[in-house]
DNA sequence: ACAAAAGTGTTAATCTTACACCCATGT
DNA sequence: ACATGGGTGTAAGATTAACACTTTTGT
């Protein structure tokens, strides 16, 4: 039983970062080919002896020097036979979160131009990457309501107002501050620190931490993280 | 830019059927190779000019003659480099529901032996198909609570008791009959028919239909299907 | 003293849960 | 008349939603 197949398999990463009340996406400028100078998701072909996940990490490191905080498989795009104009490529897309939108000095390898773009100010994208991005954004919006994933976009220690802004920015909704705080505290997965914000204006605010161990423990006991909004 | 890659891409379908208060999975017996006589999910290699979805439909038709009621992409299994002992295969798994567990007379093509197995009485499976199956079962259990997917496992017209049994079988939970009925009726996506069950025993029960148009309309208006259990 | 953001509590409305008896049919 | 499964309502408890004033700090 011999199989010949002329399909290439690639991975692409949709990396979200949150900074200054904006949700950003990491893109790199295409340097070659018909799509030169368009922007694209970080990605590339999978090596023969490489796990899909490892391929994603490798590409991220090679092209942007970034290490992600959260990574999960999103969807496999393989129904559009000509999504890549060169030949048939099936892409396994991954969804990633980072808690910093600083870009390190570019790594030596590919020296691609990587850049963060606010989700609502995207440039024209190569391939079907706009579709992929839309899928990822919807996934992020949904997950925020039933998985404590927002913390992966914030610093280890954060203000309640940061968290609240993150939710209201990404979900594009207003949130009642009191109800939001009450709800999150009721889960008992946040810890107060002794530290305070060092903002110029207004009353200093306590810094909080997400206690992942406690969350995992509660999960096993049947706890279900869920935040709804009016 | 030349790429050589020695990875094959396949699709596999996890087909669920519900019959006589049991959840069943469709498997086929392997006829060749090292895994001969083990059972496996329906699947096969993707053709060069074939959409992933079409590959699934084709394999289902060729190997079992079945047409599914619901199909969605589940997950892409590609991290285990030796999941297929012959060479590296990445498999895009699809999750399917049918409303009949009758198997047509075998189609002429491959004449594979296809058979339904109750989810809790599975034979030994080839490859990593037990992992895939577990993933699919979890997905089914979760989806049942937030998408009206159970109807795709039942006849077009069904009894409330069927629906209730389906939920309690798949979720492996007891359900309060009154609360369940109240909840579902409150969604206003079910229609009473004029017909009644023709069971021998007990009071005849009304047959209901799921009104998919109405559900889709409500969805657009922001309706959210959600069933929780005590 | 004022501007800015943080912190906090109550009430009404809604939703969820628990629970048991009568009804219609076939034998 | 009895066995079988179908059909229904209510009350207590929990959760959600709506809403505004006081506190702390820097200037």
Are A21 and A120 part of one and the same domain?
yes
Strand, helix or coil for residue B95:
strand
Q: Which of A45, A30, A23, A187 is nearest to A116 (CA)?
A: A23
Question: Is the pLDDT confidence value at B180 over 90?
Answer: yes
Are B197 and B94 part of one and the same domain?
no
Closest residue in B to A55 (Cα) is: B79
Pairing of strands A8-19, A22-29: antiparallel
> Which of A75, A109, A143 corresponds to the end of one domain?
A143
Are B155 and B139 part of one and the same domain?
no
Which chain B residues touch A128 with a CB distance below 8 Å? none
Number of folded domains that form chain B? 2
Are B88 and B14 part of one and the same domain?
yes
Q: Is the Cβ pair A8, B6 closer than 8 Å?
A: no
**Residue A139 touches partner B, C-beta closer than 8 Å:** no
Q: Which of A1, A8, A52 has the CB atom closest to B32's CB atom?
A: A1
Residue A191 lies in a domain: yes
Average pLDDT, chain B: 93
Question: Is the pLDDT confidence value at A213 over 60?
Answer: yes
**What's the CATH number where B174 sits?**
1.10.10.10
| Residue range A82-134, pLDDT digits in tens | 999 999 999 999 999 999 877 765 555 554 689 999 999 999 999 999 999 99
Are B18 and B64 part of one and the same domain?
yes
Q: What's the pLDDT score for residue B107? A: 53
> Which of A99, A122, A143 corresponds to the end of one domain?
A143
Overall pTM surpassing 0.75 (yes/no): yes
**Residue B147 touches partner A, C-beta closer than 8 Å:** no
The rounded percent of chain A whose pLDDT value lies above 70 is 96
Are B107 and B183 part of one and the same domain?
no
Q: Is the Cβ pair A90, B48 closer than 8 Å?
A: no
Residue B64 lies in a domain: yes
Question: Is the pLDDT confidence value at B106 over 70?
Answer: no
**Residue A49 touches partner B, C-beta closer than 8 Å:** yes
- Integer distance in angstroms from CA A166 to C1' C7? 19
Question: Is the pLDDT confidence value at B105 over 60?
Answer: no
> Which of A143, A174, A196 corresponds to the end of one domain?
A143
Are B47 and B110 part of one and the same domain?
yes
Would residue B112 be called left, alpha or beta, if left means φ above 0 and alpha means ψ between -120 and 50 degrees?
Answer: beta
Are A57 and A109 part of one and the same domain?
yes
- The number of beta carbons lying within 10 Å of the beta carbon of residue B24 is 20
**What's the CATH number where A100 sits?**
3.90.79.10
Residue B92 lies in a domain: yes
| Nearest nucleotide, CA B206 to C1' | D6
Q: Which of A189, A195, A197 is nearest to A219 (CA)?
A: A189
Q: What's the pLDDT score for residue B99? A: 93
| Residue range A14-66, pLDDT digits in tens | 999 999 899 999 999 988 778 888 999 999 999 999 999 999 999 999 999 99
Owning domain of residue B37: 8-143
Are A106 and A167 part of one and the same domain?
no
């Amino acid at each position: 039983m011999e199989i010949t197949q002329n399909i290439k398999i690639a991975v692409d990463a949709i990396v979200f970062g949150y900074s200054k009340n904006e949700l950003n996406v990491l893109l790199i400028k295409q340097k070659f080919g018909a799509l030169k100078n368009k922007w694209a998701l970080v990605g590339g072909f999978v090596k023969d002896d490489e796990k899909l996940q490892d391929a994603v990490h490798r590409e991220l490191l090679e092209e942007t020097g970034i290490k992600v905080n959260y990574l999960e498989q999103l969807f496999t795009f393989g129904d559009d036979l000509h999504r890549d104009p060169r030949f048939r490529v099936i892409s396994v897309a991954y969804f990633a979160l980072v808690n910093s939108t600083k870009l390190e000095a570019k790594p030596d390898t590919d020296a691609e131009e990587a850049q963060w773009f606010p989700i609502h100010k995207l440039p024209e994208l190569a391939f079907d990457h706009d579709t992929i991005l839309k899928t990822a954004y919807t996934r992020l919006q949904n997950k925020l309501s039933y998985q404590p994933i927002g913390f992966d976009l914030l610093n280890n220690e954060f203000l309640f107002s940061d968290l609240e802004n993150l939710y209201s920015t990404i979900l594009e909704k207003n949130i009642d501050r009191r109800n939001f705080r009450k709800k999150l505290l009721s889960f008992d997965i946040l810890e107060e620190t002794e530290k305070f914000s060092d903002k110029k204006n207004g009353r200093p605010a306590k810094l909080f931490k997400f206690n992942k161990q406690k969350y995992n423990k509660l999960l096993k006991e049947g706890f279900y993280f869920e935040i709804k909004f009016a």
